[in-house]
Amino acid sequence: MTKNRAVLSGLTLLFIVRLLAMIWVPLTDPTEARYAEIARKMVETGNWITPQFDYGVPFWAKPPLHTWLSAVGVAVFGATPFAARLGIMLATITTLIILWRWARTLTDQRTAAASILVAASSGLFFVSAAFVQTDMVLTLGVTASMAGFYNGLQGSRRWGWLFFLGLAIGLLAKGPVAVVLSMTPITVWMLWRGHWRDLVRLPWAGGLALCAVLVIPWYAAAEAATPGFLYYFLIGEHIERFLQPGWSGDLYGAGREHAKGTIWLFWIVATLPWSPLLPVLVWRLRGRAMPEDKGLLLYLLLFALTPLVFFTFAANILLAYVLPGIPAAALLAVMLWTQTGPTGVGWLRLGVAEVLLIFASITAGSFLGLDRPFMPTEATLVESHPGAGRLAILGARSFSAEFYTKGKIVRLQTLTDLVAWLAPGDRVLIPKYEYTAFIRQFGNAIKPISEDRQYMLFIPIPAATAAN
């Protein structure tokens, strides 16, 4: 009972810190602020079919489920970071509940509790828990599919329906990659297991119908609304992006090229503070006979490793691609740890404490305004001098500036454009690399009033003051 209370306390503290971060930590560029701004535009324009990269510019890179979740929060609570993040947090909580319920059917309550604590406190999972992007919603879909299939194969119709619901969630969260991440480990495991006749225990007719009803209408409506979506999304985003280094077809930014195999290094970083314990776990497993539940352990291992194997040869990858396998890795690690010796509650407490200390410090720093030198966001800069005049940004696009101004910031490409636009009372964000040319153009007719890591905020000086 004491250990259960310790796990509950750890989860509660993690939730409180993450909740405060949802409120105090500003939206960061480019990823989180971009998706939050897309959700804000969805609410503003009333277009819930086609997410918009800019006004009138469709965002074809991802399906809209994560955008819908954020947009509902914005519609209910207004355009705030908390509102944009709320739907993602609810997806995270749902993922952990599924993991908990599944683990309870496979193991005991203590192992299940420790598993969700390890998953929730893994570095990437904790950050993604309320980070406005696609990957946590994808993780929800994959976790639901994998848990539903395993228990559905044992004869539970309710879990079998969850398998198909998870596929639908994944297809609306990130597309066909969700099916690959689910069906690849399932297929390999079934080839090892055999007993294919057990598949009749799953509700195939009703489940596939459910998946089709939930998924196909949006894909059809999206293609009808903006022809060309299906080709770009299915071929460009799912084939060309991963096979072409520095993929030039990306409509929404540059590809992120890494050496092939980097995804395994990403996993070590993503699962901190627990990944350093992997050699200890391997040592504890040495010389031991194969456990009786080897089928389950293999299923979890395949579930955890599929994202890594799948993206090993990808040319463009992100740290977040590791995320869908973390719930399985957490459950597998805890099961093996408890089967090979003392539970090591001290390690668990230390790991959770490390995560809490790091992210509580980041959250407190944001609340106190100490994050400006290192946080990739223009939130503080935009809010530091609200003023009554217009606000412009020179050169590069800032999604956080767009979100915090509710899309009212003006984007100017050249200093000539700025000269023609600027009027008394206006403000302008100038990239620091443009500072020399900017001062050469305006001299003492404009002055800086604030700055962050990338931009300086300037306002014009009244003519009489400048002359003096």
CA-to-CA dists, residue 225 to 4, 56, 58, 59, 219, angstroms: 52, 12, 9, 12, 10
Task: With a cut of 90, say whether residue 461 has pLDDT above it.
Answer: no
Residue-level pLDDT at 246: 57
Residue-level pLDDT at 280: 83
Tokens of 223: 């293609």
Please give the full DSSP string across 272-289, using - where no structure is assigned. TTTGGGHHHHHHHHTTPP
Quickly state the pLDDT bin for 332 (edges 50, 70, 90). Answer: very high
Lowest mean pLDDT among 6-15, 28-37, 184-193, 195-204: 6-15
- Domain coordinates in residue numbering, the chain: 2-367, 379-467
CA-to-CA dists, residue 336 to 121, 189, 314, 340, angstroms: 18, 19, 30, 6
Strand 52-54 to strand 57-58: parallel, antiparallel, or no bridges (unpaired)? antiparallel
Contacts for 258 with CB less than 8 Å, ≥ 6 apart:
315, 316, 317
Residue-wise pLDDT for 177-230, tens only, equals: 999 999 999 999 999 999 999 999 999 999 999 999 999 999 999 999 999 999
Q: What number is the average pLDDT over the span 226-235?
A: 90
| Domain 379-467, CATH class in plain words | alpha beta
Closest CA to 203 of 211, 194, 215: 211
Residue-level pLDDT at 362: 78
pTM of the model: 0.92
Please give the full DSSP string across 274-333, using - where no structure is assigned. TGGGHHHHHHHHTTPPPPTTHHHHHHHHHHHHHHHHHTTT-SB--GGGGGGGHHHHHHHH
Residue-wise pLDDT for 38-72, tens only, equals: 999 999 999 999 999 999 999 998 999 999 999 99
Quick check: helix, strand or coil at residue 53?
strand
Task: With a cut of 90, say whether residue 81 has pLDDT above it.
Answer: yes
Tokens of 41: 């535009």
Lowest mean pLDDT among 205-209, 214-218, 257-261, 390-394: 257-261
Q: What number is the average pLDDT over the span 393-398?
A: 88
CA trace torsion 17, 20, 21, 26 (10° rounding): -170
Which segment, 225-229, 283-287, 425-429, 453-457, is predicted with the most confidence on average?
225-229
Residue-level pLDDT at 343: 62
Q: What number is the average pLDDT over the span 412-429?
A: 90
Long-range CB pairs of 152-158, under 8 A, 24+ apart, other chains included: 152/201, 152/202, 152/203, 153/198, 153/199, 153/201, 153/202, 154/201, 155/201, 157/201, 157/203
Residue 129 backbone zone (phi > 0: left; psi -120 to 50: alpha; other: beta): alpha
Residue-level pLDDT at 467: 45
To which residue do tokens 């993991």 refer? 99
